[in-house]
Structure 1
């Protein structure tokens, strides 16, 4: 019993305690097979975390809900989510902070032989959508269809919701006429012969949004940031160093290939290109642009999507001066 209590105590010691480790540790909880693992693997393999004064402990989780539960329950120090979720949590009184990771987004793809040239041509079609009815890409595409061609995408099509791998398989098998999926599945669908009808980044730009605004990022708690600013700064620096390496070093991608689930050379090249295209610029997020995006998401998704957030909460985005 004593040894069990002692073991539990050691596990619960603050991540920054100098008693137990010379280098502070950050526990990063992410999806087991998420693309963020490519960056985290690059950090660990090349010891970029140690070079920046931090040790990453990566915990693979089964789903996005599990990562958030671990984070909110104190079992993880860092997770990956979108900044709209962070804004919602801050509006509800939770002190979470967003560190940019990727601006990669998907699009709506049509199956081989589909002659559609615009979203209006999808009238009567079955669309597979990853992420559910409040998926941000789906909401942006709905707004774009309404603005550009006066077409109600939700009313004029049949939607089928499912997990990204299921939508991927349904699209390739022809069970749906078109699909909206996360960027890496979109890349693999294109490499498998599907055709992109509309890119979400182009739709966002047409709506007056800035496609350079990173949607996905690492999330940390404000108390961790304030208590250990050098550790979070080191983590952000390690992330940026990994991005620089992945942007320029093809050999690093060759090393990563076994964990990328690329079935063909075309899929591998598409995933590599998609990741590189999603690397955000190394400068602070434009909060005005982000505020415009949040305002649109409030109109489209309302309280179900953003809770009490009606404008961008102060302190949402990380900067070295936080």
Structure 2
């Protein structure tokens, strides 16, 4: 009798019972390890962690072998996961909640709580969001970008203004928003955290962080937004695989939080233009490391409710409340 573990879009077969237990108990060098295929955008920051996992052998030490397949950002990776072309991607848990509300079995393992902030030129006279009236805000994403919705909610609650009505929004890809911010084409920019770090290194300043805005709205800043997303069948049928990925991720984070040498090795793939950018990217990644322990479902439910009220069905689909099973926990 055999069972099939679906990895690499194919099947690897191992015997069940005592033989299966023996295979997973063997040292990495002797075992035919299950391969977990990650679909990642190779220019993304998660590759710093995954490259560290593979370089240090944290995956094999925990009983799996990670392989990486380049996928386009966003929807393309999500389609690849659902089609079984890859075994895991990195996405936000709000998308996982939306999929589970539609009956799709996906599970989220926390990766990062790093979020961006609204950046303005160093010499900008703006002190508050109200000071941006009449100006252009560059936004990486679209009208239902989560960070943008949080800033809009903050502006309405704290400053009693409609930020969308009092400013002009320019939506675009992160690199384009980055260039527009540095060139002065927009008066403020809301971008992914690593582009925000680069803008800060270039002399821009943060007018308001998404974390600060969320905290003012009653959200828990320790709730990790991004994570590894696996198909539920893998987590359910082979829980040791999810456990191994979570453990390898934690070990890589510990390594990167404490080792300058580990960052020096990664520097060529970080696209840092100078030492200031390099240090800002390092600091941003480390600041985004989630705390140990399970995700607070109460805090996540509060965030989901806010996103549902702001972004509606276009953002969260049918997930107006937190579905069961979104977050992976050890032993689940």
TM interval, short-chain normalised: over 0.9
Query: In the alignment, is the contact (CA less than 8 A) between 1:18 and 1:24 conserved in 2?
Result: no
Shift of 1:151: 1.1
Which residue pairs with 2:21 in the alignment?
none
Query: In the alignment, is the contact (CA less than 8 A) between 2:81 and 2:88 conserved in 1?
Result: yes
Alignment CA distance shift 1:221-1:117 (3 Å): same
Residue 207, structure 1, aligned to residue 217, structure 2: yes
Q: For the residues of structure 2 that align with 1:253 and 1:152, how far apart are their CA atoms?
A: 42
Residue 40, structure 1, aligned to residue 70, structure 2: no
Residue 228, structure 1, aligned to residue 238, structure 2: yes
Q: For the residues of structure 2 that align with 1:321 and 1:152, how far apart are their CA atoms?
A: 45
Q: 2:14 aligns with which of 11, 15, 18?
A: 18
* TM-score normalised by length of structure 1: 0.95
Residue 321, structure 1, aligned to residue 317, structure 2: no
Which residue pairs with 2:24 in the alignment?
none
Q: For the residues of structure 2 that align with 1:13 and 1:143, how far apart are their CA atoms?
A: 45
Which residue pairs with 1:3 in the alignment?
none
Deviations 1:2-59 (A, max 9, x none): xxxxxxxx96532x4238x810000000112000000000000001000000000111
Task: Give the ranges of 4+ consecutive aligned residues of structure 1 lying more than 6 Å apart after TM superposition.
Answer: none
Query: In the alignment, is the contact (CA less than 8 A) between 2:8 and 2:37 conserved in 1?
Result: no
Q: For the residues of structure 1 that align with 2:148 and 2:325, how far apart are their CA atoms?
A: 27
Q: For the residues of structure 2 that align with 1:26 and 1:159, how far apart are their CA atoms?
A: 40
Q: For the residues of structure 1 that align with 2:10 and 2:142, how far apart are their CA atoms?
A: 38
Q: 2:315 aligns with which of 298, 302, 305?
A: 305
Which residue pairs with 1:168 in the alignment?
178
Shift of 1:69: 1.5
**Correspondence 1:68-147 to 2 at 5 A:** 68-147=78-157
Give the gaps of 5 or more residues in structure 2: 1-6, 16-30
SS of residue matched to 1:275 = helix
* TM-score normalised by length of structure 2: 0.92
**Correspondence 1:188-203 to 2 at 5 A:** 188-203=198-213
Deviations 1:271-311 (A, max 9, x none): 00000000001110011000000000011001010000010
Give the gaps of 5 or more residues in structure 1: 1-9
SS of residue matched to 1:98 = strand
SS of residue matched to 1:223 = helix
Q: For the residues of structure 2 that align with 1:106 and 1:11, how far apart are their CA atoms?
A: 33
SS of residue matched to 1:308 = coil
Query: In the alignment, is the contact (CA less than 8 A) between 2:8 and 2:85 conserved in 1?
Result: no
Instruction: Give the alignment's Cα RMSD to 1 decimal.
Output: 1.4
Deviations 1:191-229 (A, max 9, x none): 001110001100000000000000000000111111111
Alignment CA distance shift 1:238-1:86 (3 Å): same
Shift of 1:270: 0.3
Which residue pairs with 1:157 in the alignment?
167
Q: For the residues of structure 2 that align with 1:137 and 1:11, how far apart are their CA atoms?
A: 34
